[in-house]
Amino acid sequence: MKTPATDWPETTCLPILSSQAQGWENILVEQFQHPTGETRGDYSNEHVIHMPLVRRPVPLLLIQGGKTHAGLYGKGDISITPVMTPFFARCARWDSDDHFLQIRIASRFIQSVARETFDKNPDQLELLLEFRIRDPQIEAIGMMLLSELKQENLGGRLYIESLTYVLAVHLLRDYAAAKPRLTVYRGGLPQRQLLQVLEYIEEHLDQDIKLADLAALLGMSQFHFSHLFKQSIGMAPYQYLLQQRIELAKQLLKQTNRSIVNIALLCGFNSHSHLSKQFRQLTGMTPKAYRSG
């Protein structure tokens, strides 16, 4: 399944960090400094998740779709505003270092996931409006997306796609008005299918491999593919891809005189620093040190 990138509408409050320039598909992740006073929004194509990143709870008045919520809003409190739902927020006091994370996920992507993963008619899809809920999984995904945002997507597109897909499935499973039933397949991928995927990854290490591409090879949903792949290999697709890229880099560092910049590109990294950071995380040393060791 491939969904084109969204032309995200501009907001009146400029973000400190934004994934818009990084080319993430189906999801927009932005970190804002809280403005004092009032904030309004009305997104016609996206579901919106708000996560405060504040030092201490602050009093907040929030109106979502005609429903009014008032209370202390602190770190770990999450709100979900479904597509086409106007919202209004008012807070009289923010500290200068108070930030919030806004995640906007394309409604057409949620619809595609509903159809593909749950075999659910997207016309019957309705996400629930939520205010000040606690959801450790959404919070964990949000913080991982924020980490990638700060590091300029060093984990790779496959990692971002995986997080986006898991978030979409979680929203559908836990926050849809009619709870869909998710079929989970066990036992891993058949050997023939697993080898097909591993060979594809090996032949395309220098390219931008997408989760949708791998799932399409086997004609299954991204969720089920990721689940079965991890059962077969013991790690997620993005982890395996990164491991194989590092293994190829190690081979080229020891067996060739290519520059580290050239090796980075051959292994699917976008720069010398991109390779160096991931190489150090997996091996404990820099590419230069590995080559000379």
On whether both 253 and 220 belong to a single domain, the answer is: no
Q: Provide DSSP, 269-286.
A: -SSHHHHHHHHHHHHSS-
State the DSSP code for 132.
E
Share of the chain above pLDDT 90, in %: 48
Asked if 23 and 152 sit in the same domain, the reply is: yes
Tell me the pLDDT of the chain averaged across its residues: 85
Please give the structure tokens belonging to residue 73. Answer: 């809003």
pLDDT (0 to 100) of residue 73: 82
H/E run at residue 89: strand 87-91
Has residue 271 been placed in a domain? yes
- Give the separation between CA 189 and CA 225, rounded to whole angstroms: 8
Residue 11 in any domain: the answer is: no
pTM, rounded to two decimals: 0.78
Does residue 54 share a domain with residue 199? no
266 and 127 share one domain: no
Specify the higher pLDDT residue, 180 or 79.
Answer: 79
Residues 114 and 145 in one domain: yes
The confidence band for 8, taking pLDDT boundaries of 50, 70 and 90, is: very low
Q: What is the secondary structure of 169-196 as a DSSP string?
A: HHHHHHHBSSPPPPP---S---HHHHHH
Boundary of a domain, candidates 175, 204, 225 = 175
Separation CA 170–CA 116 (nearest Å): 14
Its domain, for residue 276, covers 245-292
Q: Are residues 228 and 254 in the same domain?
A: no
Residue that is last in its domain, among 127, 150, 175: 175
Q: Tell me whether residue 113 is in a domain.
A: yes
- Count of structural domains, the chain: 3
* Same structural domain, 161 and 197: no
21 and 119 belong to one structural domain: yes
Residues 35 and 169 in one domain: yes
Shared domain check, 200 and 60: no
Using H for helix, E for strand and C for coil, what is the string for 40-63?
A: EECCCCEEEEEEEECCCCEEEEEE
Cβ pair 111, 122 in contact under 8 A: yes
Q: CATH number, domain at 255? A: 1.10.10.60
Angle CA 39–41–45, to nearest 5: 160
pLDDT at position 194 over 50: yes
- Residue 231 predicted with pLDDT over 80: yes
